[in-house]
Amino acid sequence: MILLQNMQEAPASERVLALNRVGFSPAEIADLLGERPNTISVQLLRGKQASRSKHYTGRKKRRAPA
């Protein structure tokens, strides 16, 4: 697997996100990395949450009641 060979030095969370981006399921990623599928699912969720928080610009202001 060329992607895994190129990412050997990358943190596990980056490898998980990269494999997910190219179409692997959490179960397939778990098999490739020797982890449990639930562990991979949690890493994917945290990675997506971190990505969203980087782009977060703040809450919309609520309009005053009329």
pLDDT, position 59: 62
pLDDT, position 2: 76
pLDDT, position 45: 93
Nearest CA among 61, 29, 66 for reference residue 44:
29
pLDDT, position 41: 96
Q: How confident is the model at residue 66 (pLDDT cuts 50, 70, 90)?
A: low
Mean pLDDT of 49-56: 74
Residue 7 has pLDDT above 70, yes or no: yes
Taking each helix axis as running N to C, give the angle between helix 12-21 and helix 37-54, from 0 to 180 degrees, rounded to the nearest 10: 90
Q: How confident is the model at residue 35 (pLDDT cuts 50, 70, 90)?
A: very high
